[in-house]
Structure 1
Amino acid sequence: MTRTAIPAVLEAAPLDPALAGFLAQAASQGNPPLESLPPPLARQVYRDLAAGLGLPAPAVASAKDRVIDGPGGPLALRIYRPDAEGALPLLLFVHGGGFVIGDLETHDTVCRTLCHDVVAVVVAVDYRLAPEHPFPAAMDDVACALRWVAAHARELGADASRIALAGDSAGAQLATVAALRAAGAIVLRALGLIYPVAQHYSEPSPSMAENGGGKFLTTGAMRWFIDCYLGGRQELARHADFALLQSQTLHTLPPTWLATMGHDPLRDEGLALALRIAQAGVPTEHHHYASAIHACLHFTAVSTLGSQVMADLATWLRAQLSIDMQARHS
């Protein structure tokens, strides 16, 4: 595992043997590519996968669904509370799934784990999905959810001065855009990004070619996800609200933690984003899991790597959101 200073070249390691076995077994089943499925069926496949390959979530005090007014109509949230007293930190978590296939259920275990390990109120947002709701619907929903949690922190039993954002994959991209939009309006203490989407597939990185087949997330799936999200509008390929590497305002981000996986098509764009954020003057911590694949958060019953990613993020978030840390920032 690599931490800051952020290296220009990442360490390489063989694929984790347990994940290699899982991928080989999945390939032997001959299932159709995800991108060949209708979106509703692809979403169910993802739900089933997330439910079947993870360890049980740790206990939390409560998990309650709530609906707020969103920019496109009712917007569903799920609010998790740990077994703790007092005004707690607050984490808004944005699920992954390529802007097309994730939801509150696919990331329920992830949110429960972070709630328990960070000892924070965690709010998950069920943003609108493409292709039914293309760009900018998802980011509008996430930005709305962030404004709502900031305004209702006390109601949620949380401390409005200790708010963080986190997400994985497409959710990491959306969390970053929400943080950029909130700059100057909402004080964020931390941003946690797990294997983020940071650029359009028309600018492929070496890791996209290296890992784009047979390692769960494929080049074909990424093309489908992005085409669904952008509605086929190629003029959006370099839009700063999508292609984060084009952003000129990364300096406004809060302290950032970013994780890359060695056998992930998105590895190199994630590293490039970490470097860009650090070069913008933002305190940045980068962790590289050289033996891991994309979506390993869901495969904790297969390999310990996904659990390690969440544990490392939780440790960093606890430090960023502690009362002592908050006092030093004030």
Structure 2
Amino acid sequence: MKIKNHPKLKKLALKAQKNIVKRLLGLPKPVLRKIAGDPIVIDGQILDVSVQVILKLFGPPPNHLASVASTRRQIDAQGPLLAQSDHKDIVSDDFQLDVSGGDSITLRRYRHRKAGKNNQPALVFYHGGGYVAGSLESHDLVCQHLAADGNCTVIAVDYRLAPEHPFPTPVNDGLAAFRYIASNTDKFGVDATRLAVGGDSAGGNLAAVVAQQTKDDDYAPKLQLLWVPWVDMSREYESYELFATGFFLERVKMRWFQEQYIEDATDTTDPMASPIFGDLKGIAPAVILVGGFDPLRDEGVAYADKLKGADVETEIMVYKTLPHIFPLLAGEIADAKVAFDDATRALRGL
């Protein structure tokens, strides 16, 4: 047994790290400002002081490109650090789904321990990580609290990742998972007429694609909940330049993610890769949440505008103080908690 990888020891280490961060961020605002330094103001926005402290003390070096394996380890380790704590009333179980190439993927269901077999509204959730990293583990706490605060079942999809499985394999996995859940609602204890799709970053991309590709299915999504979605792989918007370095997700990393995921440059305008080029008529209402200090900010806003132009009911919220990773910060950053509450309010309307 490798002691450092023992699940109980890893949990204890994470708890200790979370306690240290909580104490740090619990310092008075003037003290945090002194640690952080002068406010960072870009495009009329002021970065949250607690986020600035975390970046200064624990942030990665600018323009750092780790290997695929290191990137995966980092995201799995960092994902829970500033997220909420374990929710004692949410339980999870795993299901296997056979996919192409003789492989299988895991679907992890989260629901309240007293839900029983009741047919609940459900969110089919796709994690972020640039289609290269992220996992059921990196977003475990997020999914627990989406289920608890959204009064719904959450089913997280462990789709296959690039570069081992480049476009379109992850998208096909995401589509297969949604259709399998919609066709096997008794198995999951969910209501096929109250299904939502959602995710952050690459997961937001996947959710948007699934919403488009299944709009004519017998059971199409009723809501798409898109955090900081990556919706256009064909170009870099102004926000790529404004927030190129220093705010967790950087321009060089986005380019690297795309290199791992897209093998043929002509695919960047395929709606299965860039949903901003898709047919938006008749798709599910959308709630889009974007961060002010995010290279993907402007394309999220552009996608909301395009949805509205297609007469899709759309709500767009820009959290001007927050970076790209704010869906994972709701345990310790007040503005991120506000954003999380906005997301779960939308789920409660299913």
TM-score by length of 2: 0.83
Say if 1:192 and 1:258, in contact at 8 Å, map to a contact too. yes
Say if 2:197 and 2:207, in contact at 8 Å, map to a contact too. yes
Identity across matched positions, percent: 31
Q: 1:222 to 1:30 in 2, by over 3 A?
A: closer
Who is 2:286 aligned against? Answer: 256
Residue 170 of structure 1 aligns with an amino acid whose one-letter code is: A
Q: Tell me, what secondary structure is at the counterpart of 2:79?
A: helix
State the Cα distance separating 1:31 from its structure 2 match: 8.3
Aligned match for 1:71, one of 100, 116, 128: 100
Q: Tell me, what secondary structure is at the counterpart of 2:293?
A: coil
Aligned match for 1:235, one of 243, 246, 266: 266
State the Cα distance separating 1:252 from its structure 2 match: 2.9
Who is 1:199 aligned against? Answer: 232
Who is 1:55 aligned against? Answer: 84
State the Cα distance separating 1:92 from its structure 2 match: 0.3
Q: Which runs of 5+ in 2 are unaligned?
A: 1-42
User: Based on CA coordinates, which of the two structures has the bigger radius of gyration?
Assistant: 2
Q: Where do 1:57-136 residues align within 5 Å?
A: 57-72=86-101, 73-85=103-115, 86-136=118-168
Equivalent-residue separation in structure 1 for 2:240 and 2:220 (angstroms): 35
State the Cα distance separating 1:255 from its structure 2 match: 0.8
Q: Deviations over 1:265-284 (max 9, x none)?
A: 00000000011011101111
Aligned match for 2:74, one of 8, 20, 45: 45
State the Cα distance separating 1:53 from its structure 2 match: 2.6
Q: Does 1:217 align with 2:278?
A: no
State the Cα distance separating 1:210 from its structure 2 match: 0.2
Q: Which runs of 5+ in 1 are unaligned?
A: 1-10, 322-330
Equivalent-residue separation in structure 1 for 2:301 and 2:164 (angstroms): 31
Who is 2:344 aligned against? Answer: 314
Equivalent-residue separation in structure 2 for 1:300 and 1:243 (angstroms): 28
Residue 244 of structure 1 aligns with an amino acid whose one-letter code is: P
State the Cα distance separating 1:30 from its structure 2 match: 4.4
Residue 270 of structure 2 aligns with an amino acid whose one-letter code is: H
Q: Deviations over 1:143-178 (max 9, x none)?
A: 000011101112212111111111100000011111
Q: Tell me, what secondary structure is at the counterpart of 1:291?
A: strand
Say if 2:76 and 2:137, in contact at 8 Å, map to a contact too. yes
Equivalent-residue separation in structure 2 for 1:122 and 1:87 (angstroms): 12
State the Cα distance separating 1:139 from its structure 2 match: 0.3
Say if 1:84 and 1:119, in contact at 8 Å, map to a contact too. no
Say if 1:60 and 1:80, in contact at 8 Å, map to a contact too. no
State the Cα distance separating 1:133 from its structure 2 match: 0.4
The alignment yields a C-alpha RMSD, in angstroms, of 1.7
| Greater mean deviation of Cα atoms: 284-293 or 183-192 | 183-192
Q: Where do 1:16-31 residues align within 5 Å?
A: 16-27=48-59, 30=61
For CA contacts below 8 A with separation 6 or more, give which structure has more relative contact order. Answer: 1
Equivalent-residue separation in structure 1 for 2:296 and 2:63 (angstroms): 22
Equivalent-residue separation in structure 2 for 1:287 and 1:165 (angstroms): 18
Residue 193 of structure 1 aligns with an amino acid whose one-letter code is: L
Q: Tell me, what secondary structure is at the counterpart of 1:159?
A: strand
Say if 2:127 and 2:200, in contact at 8 Å, map to a contact too. yes
Q: Tell me, what secondary structure is at the counterpart of 2:134?
A: coil
Equivalent-residue separation in structure 1 for 2:265 and 2:90 (angstroms): 46
Q: Deviations over 1:213-258 (max 9, x none)?
A: 0011000100010111102x211122221122222x1113201100
Q: Deviations over 1:65-115 (max 9, x none)?
A: 121112242111111112444321111000000000111000101110100
Say if 1:95 and 1:103, in contact at 8 Å, map to a contact too. yes
Equivalent-residue separation in structure 1 for 2:92 and 2:100 (angstroms): 24
| Greater mean deviation of Cα atoms: 76-85 or 134-143 | 76-85
Equivalent-residue separation in structure 2 for 1:61 and 1:266 (angstroms): 32
Q: 1:49 to 1:149 in 2, by over 3 A?
A: same
Residue 135 of structure 1 aligns with an amino acid whose one-letter code is: F
State the Cα distance separating 1:55 from its structure 2 match: 2.7
How many residues of Structure 1 are paired with residues of Structure 2 in the alignment? 304
Residue 45 of structure 1 aligns with an amino acid whose one-letter code is: Q
TM-score by length of 1: 0.88
